[in-house]
Structure 1
Amino acid sequence: MLYDLLIEPFVAFDFMRRALVGATALALSGGPVGVFLMLRRMSLTGDAMAHAILPGAAVGFLLYGLSLPAMTIGGLAAGFAVALAAGLVARTTALKEDAALAAFYLISLALGVTLVSLRGSNVDLLHVLFGTVLALDDATLLLVAGIATVTLGALALLYRPLVLECVDPGFLRSVSRAGAAAHLAFLALVVINLVGGFHALGTLLAVGMMMLPAASARFWSGDITVMIGVSTLVGMLSGAAGLILSYHTGLPAGPSIILVAGGAYIASLLVGPVDGLLWRLVPGRHLEA
């Protein structure tokens, strides 16, 4: 019974195995990135950047159709352009970076949907917005795996300055000039991970594999290393469980994965040992004389 429910879909169907590999690669790279986004209070920045890649991907779609290289290059160019533009506006005007990102993200989302609609059908628009995790080919899997490899390698090199900037940015600025370079490199990692997630989950759901597992991990530990491990594990389990849910119910695979990750977040919010809601109901020990 358990074999038919949990294992048989991946044994019987190649597209399920491909989807599982893709979701696992996204969790391996998106989990750590999401933790640092959360700790740096940049969660909404990740969401804004996910929408920012849409116009570039849409231009690639207009020129070459559903071409992996064209949509990837277009998404990367648009993501980096929006990140640089928002930073420039924040540094040269009175507008804060979060407000600048919000403005650019709304413009990007509207522009991207309009561009796709000029040539594509509703099916193409749904592909761009919500992805096709059950239709990953070899090239897309190699891209996602390559992004995961680059991300993990880069985070290993940037780990100390990123942690210091989360804990005490003032101290990092006083002892090193690596903070600005680490910040820019981290933004680049966010963009490339969103582009990888875009091909599997679409522009609207790509950030979900970053932020929901990371938010869940926050309720299980206060240690950054442990949070990264928990976030990655939650992402991997959400990917597998979401695919199984989709297979047995007929629900769309991408939204099913994000719904499972959302369920993990709600469960962590309730029962997580670090400030979970139910733990607050347990009376604490009073100091004894």
Structure 2
Amino acid sequence: MATVQVPARIHNLLGETGELFVIALEGLRRTWDVRTWFWEFVEQAWFLARVTSLPVILVSLPLGATVALQVGQLAAQLGAQSATGGAVIVGLVREVAPIAAALIIAGAGGAAMTADMGARRIRDELSAMEAMAVNPIHRLVTPRLWAGSLVAMLLASLVIIAGAAGGFVFNVLLQDVTPGAYFDGAVSLLQISDLIVTLLKSWLFGLVAAIVAAYMGMNCATSPVGVGRAVNRAIVVAFMLVFALNYVITTVYFVAFPPKI
């Protein structure tokens, strides 16, 4: 029987995917042993919150304002300008918040995380930990996974608040829509399941960004150039995985819970 030859590029891709899953499962396996990674988790969570909070606000404010401006102009032509608030906030909650939080986590926090793990690899710190019978995945990766996922959930909430505030300024102050009508549209369209799925997606996207960042840093070439390339790859791969997961989760959610009309 003739054997099927797998192209080298596909073989390498499948191998890296398997290693990525191994690091993810190994990082989550020792989650119960909180004593060994709690303070590292606190340090990483504080670092991620510090470097991502301001960029998220600066992105969300003009984003909400732009959406409100565009939707408000279209709604005014249809005579339904009071529905602008509902469209802005529902869009923020369902799609914009988890995506924006994940991209900021991957772009700002994930890049720093990859560089840190790559620097440890260059200095042979990871090998030294293994020589001392300390699993570097349990000690370093596990707290970063939980820090990334937790901070992503908090950032999603911040995106919703900042985006709604930006939309409020344009829709209420500049387009003469009453504050009650602005928020009433959102309350009538939003469901509890929307908020639950948004938090779930944010948690999952933050986890994916942290997994990719840790993997790329731990497997980079042992040179400064290798670390730089690992940072670049980590950001690109995290973005691709986040968008793919978002498509799958959103499709399944809309089938299970059709949106209100």
Common fold by TM > 0.5: no
TM-score by structure 2 length? 0.27
Task: Determine which structure has greater relative contact order: mean sequence separation of CA pairs < 8 Å that are 6+ residues apart, divided by chain length.
Answer: 2
Using structure 1 for the length normalisation, give the TM-score.
0.25
Larger Rg: 2
